[in-house]
């Protein structure tokens, strides 16, 4: 009996160490998302998360953050006008996100990234793709909101859409700023489930509110 108890204690200690090491490595990589400055940085980071996911086959967060890194790469290229490069990036992001979706059903954070992937694809040709990718993006965000209505990243994405849509198509910078403000208020009370769960977006809301036109 004594030997069994010792064995159990050793096993539990090893499991706790492994989990702690996983969270430590993830936290270090997550911090690099905001530090990344080039498309190449995001590609390397996405690959790092995928390698973690290969080892931690039951964890949904590595695939999620790999997808987020690809999405951020795409948004960077979009701002530079390189929209012709967005489709292959969106495909890589989708592949990574699918790994997470298989591990975590009905997860608002996954639907939030799904919305962002569809939006990237739409921006390749907004006029031709609004009725396809644009509608899919809206549907994904709606699913996220039903699952987690107080999630500040949902308000953040709504703010972006309204802020950057021309007024003749229903956009409004004033209304967009209202959603940025709502997102910021939600960030004050929204608590991620763990230290490595999604907690991004507050800086963007603060930026737009600090730089009102």
What the chain holds in terms of domains, given with CATH numbers, is 26-147 (1.25.40), 150-213 (no CATH)
Number of Cα atoms under 13 Å in the Cβ half of residue 120:
29
Closest CA to 117 of 80, 64, 65, 67: 67
A 10 A CB-CB count for 115 gives 24
- Judge whether residue 18 has pLDDT over 90: no
- Judge whether residue 107 has pLDDT over 90: yes
Token couple for 196: 């490595």
A 10 A CB-CB count for 87 gives 13
Q: Vertex 149, ends 169 and 127: CA angle to 5°?
A: 25
Q: Which residues of 130-144 are buried (b: 16+ CB within 10 A; e: fewer)?
A: eeebbebbeebbebb
204 CB-contact burial (10 Å; exposed 0-12 / middle 13-18 / buried 19+): middle
Tell me the pLDDT of the chain averaged across its residues.
Answer: 91
How far does Cα 108 stand from its chain's mean position?
10
Q: What is the pLDDT of residues 43-89, one digit of tens each?
A: 999 999 999 999 999 999 999 999 999 999 999 999 999 999 999 99
Q: What is the pLDDT of residues 172-213, one digit of tens each?
A: 999 999 999 999 999 999 999 999 999 999 999 999 999 987
């Amino acid at each position: 009996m004594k030997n069994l108890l010792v064995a159990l204690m050793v096993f539990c200690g090893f499991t706790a160490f492994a989990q702690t090491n996983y969270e430590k490595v993830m936290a270090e990589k997550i911090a690099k998302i905001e530090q990344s400055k080039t498309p190449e940085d995001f590609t390397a980071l996405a690959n790092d998360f995928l390698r973690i996911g290969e080892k931690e086959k039951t964890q949904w967060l590595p695939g999620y953050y790999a997808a987020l890194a690809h999405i951020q790469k795409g948004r960077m290229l979009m701002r530079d006008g390189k929209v012709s490069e967005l489709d292959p990036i969106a495909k890589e992001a989708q592949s990574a996100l699918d790994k997470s979706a298989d591990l975590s059903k009905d997860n608002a954070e996954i639907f939030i990234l799904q919305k962002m992937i569809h939006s990237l694809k739409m921006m390749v040709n907004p006029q031709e793709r609004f009725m396809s990718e644009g509608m899919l993006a809206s549907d994904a965000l709606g699913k996220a909101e039903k699952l987690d209505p107080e999630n500040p990243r949902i308000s953040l994405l709504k703010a972006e859409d309204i802020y950057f849509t021309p007024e003749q198509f229903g956009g409004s910078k004033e209304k967009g700023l209202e959603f940025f403000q709502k997102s910021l208020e939600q960030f004050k009370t929204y608590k991620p489930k763990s230290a490595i769960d999604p907690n991004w977006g507050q800086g963007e809301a603060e930026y737009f509110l600090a730089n009102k036109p």
